[in-house]
Amino acid sequence: MSISPSESIVQHQLDAYNARDIEALLAIYAEDAQMFEHPSKLVASGSAEMRERFLARFREPNLRAVLLKRIVAGPMVIDHEKVIRTFPEGAGEIELVMIYEVKSGRN
């Protein structure tokens, strides 16, 4: 079974996140990409804000995202992830659903 171009890009994003490779991670996103918290809270807009957000996460010593399930429908990729983080109250995990729309080879 071959992997779709959209899935390949999203997997590269996950790999760059786990490697804490900020340059590789940001190269995947369009300059004007936006990140939302469901349903409509804008948490980052554009490369500078995304860089700041990711670098803050990368300071967490135990940060890691684990893919639990992925659904691919054309340019849309939906990941169910478990993210291990350091919260203000200490180490923990959270499950997230990430929805990516891939356009022109970028998130």
Could you read off the pLDDT of 59-96 as tens digits, one per residue?
Answer: 999 999 999 999 999 999 999 999 999 999 999 999 99
- Domain range enclosing 92: 5-101
Do residues 21 and 89 make contact, with C-beta atoms less than 8 angstroms apart? no
CATH number, domain at 81? 3.10.450.50
For the whole prediction, is pTM greater than 0.85?
yes
Please answer whether residues 93 and 68 qualify as being in contact, where contact means their C-beta atoms are separated by less than 8 angstroms.
no
Q: The tokens of 28 are what?
A: 């995947």
Closest CA to 24 of 9, 35, 37, 7: 9
- Specify if 106 maps to a domain: no
Mean pLDDT of 21-45: 96
pLDDT for 68: 98
pLDDT at 105 > cutoff 80 = no
Backbone angles phi, psi at 2, to 5 degrees: -90, 155
pLDDT, mean over the chain: 95
Domains in the chain, number = 1
